[in-house]
A = this chain, B = another copy of it.
Amino acid sequence: MIYLDNAATTFKKPDIVYDAVMDTLKNNAGNPSRGSNRIALAASRKIFESRQRVAEFFNVKNSDEIIFTKNATEASNLILKGLLEAGDHIIISSLEHNAIYRPLNRLQQELGIELTIVDTEVAKVDFLSQVERAIREETKLLAVTHASNLTGNILPVKDLGELAQQKGIAFLVDAAQSAGTLEVNVEELKADFVIFTGHKGFFGPPGVGGAYINAEFELLPLLEGGSGGNSKQKLNPDLVPDKYESGTLNTPAIAGLGAGIEFINDISLENIREHKQELLKRTTSGLEEIAGLRILDSKISQRRVGIVAFKIEGLESAAIGDLLDKEYEIAVRTGLHCAPLAHQSLDSYDQGAVRISFSYFNTVQEVELFLEAVNEITTKRRY
């Protein structure tokens, strides 16, 4: 099988990730922060090590500002629901994932927050000035994805971070599709919040994601519950990360995430990026030769992470995906990719798109086989 659905989840993982998960599950998976027996402490150490590694990746000095959650969705809900209050105004881009968009819709209905969606299908300079014009006194948060999960286009997060800082509003970067491929430096980006997931570019297992939360912000927790220490308090302890991490942590997955970042550091982000750029270049030039095929490309930037989405005139995207899977053993993702706003902007809302997405383990040969398959499907119009 050729697996080209790495923006959904990377598959396979590096061997050190499998080993870290299994070693931790078999030998170190006591209940971290619960009691001081050696096996509980071993679990706590695993979590501390991974927290340090994640902090270093994001250039966060105090690793207590790294919060582990079950996935990026929990992280975004934690921040948005913990931060926002009635009357707040929030600005997002039209490339946001439902993990950002839906919690905001809920808060809009429930609390009456106000939401401005700035369309990305304009030149970067126009996008930035539209964001600036959207800022008003009640604006509390600017939240944007670092890279679109649909088109792969990279947003101008550095400019947006500067703008947010100038205007005194909080800045959230959704790094679900960039962490593990692009540098995500919270100081450079002037980000107050970063959302990440473990199981995509970081090569960790499913079951772990998290957030960087600038400790200057005191959010309400999303989950109240046991925290190991401070059991006498009626509410969660104020101390981070405990305040935001109620209940038993997923030690094996957190250890696996740490191992995934170690793998990335060993290869280097630069080598990963270069490899993906090579795959991307071959893919786009190959796809562009196919008549009736349109690559979904956001105007916001020319730069991309390892994602390409396309649609073909007269062919259902779902049918293309099925044929790729059943006749060519190529795994892709079709549909709306939890990004309805992006599909609206890019005129693919009705038909959806076929998305392929790379990991470091994909090869140029796999891309060639994929291109041959799409050519064959398109030529024969077999659906």
Contacts and interface: CB of A to CB of B under 8 A. Distances in A.
B77 A222 contact: yes
B8 A30 contact: yes
A321 B247 contact: no
A35 B29 CA distance: 33
A93 interface: no
Given A71-B247, A102-B225, A335 B231 contact: yes
A38 interface: yes
Contact of A102 (B5, B37, B236): B236
B25 A21 contact: yes
How many identical chains are in the complex?
2
Contacts of A205: 25, 29, 250, 252
Contacts of A207: 70, 207-208, 250, 252-253
A359 B47 CA distance: 25
A235 interface: yes
A40 B70 contact: no
B251 A39 contact: no
A301 interface: no
A38 to B, nearest CB: 6
A5 B234 contact: no
Interface string A82-103: 0000000000000001110111
B331 A231 contact: no
Contacts of A22: 18, 21-22
A63 interface: no
A3 to B, nearest CB: 6
Given A225-B76, A250-B253, A338-B231, A25 B31 contact: no
Contacts of A324: 37
B5 A225 contact: no
Interface in A94-130: 97-99, 101-103, 105-106, 109
A183 B342 CA distance: 48
A11 interface: yes
A37 B206 contact: no
Nearest to A26: B18
Interface in A308-347: 318, 321-322, 324-325, 329-340
A215 B8 CA distance: 29
14 contacts: A8-B34, A9-B30, A9-B34, A11-B29, A35-B335, A36-B321, A37-B321, A99-B226, A206-B248, A209-B247, A227-B338, A231-B335, A231-B337, A232-B349
Given A8-B34, A73-B247, 4 more contacts: A5-B30, A35-B335, A38-B329, A76-B225
